[in-house]
Chains A and B, each alone.
Chain A
């Protein structure tokens, strides 16, 4: 078995090299650059009012878009897994579309619909609201880019487990909501959690689509990624990297949570 040991080392080596070059190295580079000018510059960048506002904006967007997508994700997953109908493929393709479409297009479509020249633009303005170039526009664009995540995580779980338990509960007299809450929900909770984590990461990090619909108003419609872009454009590259570490930290937490959930899942299954 000596040759297979060799093969094993070879393959592991390739993987480490690959991930090292493409993931580890850039991350280290980012961290190094963030602290290049010392701790003081780093902290100033993080606590700058515009940065904090950008963070706040990101969180607001998350608070609005994630629950909406969550609710839809569950409902839609139930529809696809428990109902039989012919248009299922079309539905699935539609759901995946935002995922594979360019971020630029995701932003463009909302300008087309909500911009002044667009379908709803004038009407919205008459009503006194602002959608595009304001927070609602950012929320909408974010909803668009992130809604497939939850569906795609919950669906396989529902499809893998049959609905015998639901049917049993039905014969025992449970109503729809009880069935959902006591039977279905526990089944999907891991997929749900994982989907929420992924969505949150995406909400915090979305750049392309938001860049088009935000208007770049400093202190008002700049999200964290846009703030980073702005700092870069103002010759404050180190600060740009510093603020990036917030998002890196967030990504890191996301991944840790995912690991944690997987541990819990494994424990609860054994």
Chain B
């Protein structure tokens, strides 16, 4: 019996071929299609020198971070926000100064938060303040489990603080009172709005909105850009703990560096994300609308502040969701 039991632990090792390098990229929810294409491109790019296989795991950003801490052997992470990667770094899995390791503060692409509404925009939704009106149903993912959910929250909060800092919290509360369903991840929210046809407006990543326009076959949607929104920065990092274990440090770094190349930036733009490469951005400029974007540090002082005062247990987020 024991022989039987231990033999299958060994079986797992047999799934890898010896001359192949396998990397696991643990990412947040909406990047499924993006990395599917990037990985194909990367594998082809490396094929002349080495056989590389990139595996993907997707889920709510904070959830994925939690899994990595529980033992999910990610070689690299590509998560929705800095705090999720910081959480992993805090436990020593990632180097403390990870942000400086890659160009642009480890941000190969950025995005923002926009609204997706039904064809002809019957409820006349044009800006954040319209979301607090009665009889409007807002779909947004749960800020507790979803990176996108957190960005949406901060974008809304930032806007209301800008309007009138005294009533900001109440306004945010009103917005969330209009939310009938809090899905656990960005993609689930999008599914709820698109497949299940629930809600009047979906607060979502810009790239998700663009994807929805492309993918929806039997429905038409419109993207509404609010007067201002947040500079949403998904970030990447090498998980030092894993790459040391698996001896994949070199390949992992090469993979992340690849995200900054022209090929990858093109794929990124084609998928609706905003590339940081200025040339590519110019080329695809027409997809995006110019929008007033604020950075987290501008409005909220710092990510530590955000985590401490807003997202951690018992603080602003819990207050708002009551």
Chains A and B share a contact (CB less than 8 Å): yes
Given contacts A133-B71, A233-B29, list 18 more A-B pairs with CB under 8 A. Answer: A68-B1, A71-B1, A111-B70, A117-B69, A121-B70, A125-B71, A125-B245, A129-B12, A130-B71, A132-B70, A133-B67, A133-B70, A133-B73, A135-B11, A218-B55, A233-B58, A233-B187, A234-B33
A30 to chain B, nearest CB (A): 15
Q: A114-B71, A116-B69, A133-B71 are in contact. Are A139 and B8 (CB under 8 A)?
A: yes
30 pairs across A/B with beta carbons < 8 Å?
A64-B4, A67-B4, A71-B1, A111-B70, A114-B71, A115-B71, A116-B69, A116-B71, A117-B69, A118-B70, A121-B70, A121-B71, A129-B9, A131-B9, A132-B72, A133-B67, A135-B11, A139-B8, A215-B67, A217-B55, A217-B57, A218-B56, A218-B58, A233-B187, A233-B188, A234-B33, A235-B190, A235-B191, A235-B194, A235-B211
B residues within 8 A CB of A216?
Answer: 57-59
Given the complex of chains A and B, what is the CA–CA distance between A218 and B15 in angstroms?
Answer: 14
Within A133-170, the residues touching B (CB, 8 Å) are 133-136, 139
Closest 3 CB pairs of A and B: A115-B70, A116-B71, A233-B187
Q: Across the interface, name the chain B residue whose C-beta is closest to A117.
A: B70
Main secondary structure of the interface of B (DSSP, over half): helix
Q: How many positions in chain B have a CB within 8 Å of any CB in the partner chain?
A: 33
Given the complex of chains A and B, what is the CA–CA distance between A68 and B9 in angstroms?
Answer: 15
* Residues A134 and B32 in contact, CB atoms below 8 Å apart: no
Instruction: Tell me how many residue pairs across A and B have CB atoms closer than 8 Å.
Output: 80
Task: Determine whether B24 belongs to the interface, using a CB cutoff of 8 Å to chain A.
Answer: yes
Q: How many positions in chain A have a CB within 8 Å of any CB in the partner chain?
A: 33
A55 to chain B, nearest CB (A): 16
* Residues A220 and B15 in contact, CB atoms below 8 Å apart: yes
A residues within 8 A CB of B55?
Answer: 217-220
Task: Determine whether B195 belongs to the interface, using a CB cutoff of 8 Å to chain A.
Answer: yes
B residues within 8 A CB of A125?
Answer: 71, 245
Given the complex of chains A and B, what is the CA–CA distance between A218 and B24 in angstroms?
Answer: 10
Q: A233-B191, A235-B215 are in contact. Are A130 and B73 (CB under 8 A)?
A: yes
